[in-house]
Structure 1
Amino acid sequence: MSDSPVQRQSVERLPEQRSTVITDELNKILDMLTSACPKGAVISFDFDGRLHVHVDVHSFEDMLKVEGILPILGGGTFHDISRGDTPHRSFHHRLSAIVDR
């Protein structure tokens, strides 16, 4: 046996590298929509095997504007646009679309 004390070395772990590909892509879509929608529009997403976007606006006129711009925005990224109810938001109008990206 050796008489020298055992030396312990401390090794720091590298920080985990997490992928943000999905978040980055959603932020690109959100930025595109935010720049095209009227001020005060509420934009949300849901996923049920397909990505859906919902745009809630205050006025009927704003809804018509968004409805006209969605099909051409992003080179046809948004399709199957429909009008619907706005849960928990009285006096709002909702447009929903499927996002292909």
Structure 2
Amino acid sequence: MAITSVLAIFFLFWILGCFLILPFGFEPVPRDDPDFVEGQAESAPRHFRPWKVLLRGTILAIVLCALFYVNYVNGWITARDVDISRLVLDN
């Protein structure tokens, strides 16, 4: 596998990882709190820390990309294993 392919796959896993990590580890601001701004959503985080989200997303992307690459090299799961058209056509 070319390094550009690995980087592209890592980037896709990184974007996915950041979106998956985004809703975890934040504390919403209650309406009676002095930090609450009129008109803001109740689900808005009190202190949004984007660097924490990016770090966690990067760690998740490294793990997922490493698993993907090891699977690619060893051939544990192939496209033939997940081909659902065979299930539909066999019936």
Bigger radius of gyration among the two:
1
Give me the TM-score of the superposition, normalised by structure 2: 0.29
Which structure carries more relative contact order (alpha carbon 8 Å, separation 6+)?
2
Give me the TM-score of the superposition, normalised by structure 1: 0.27
Q: Which has the higher strand share?
A: 1
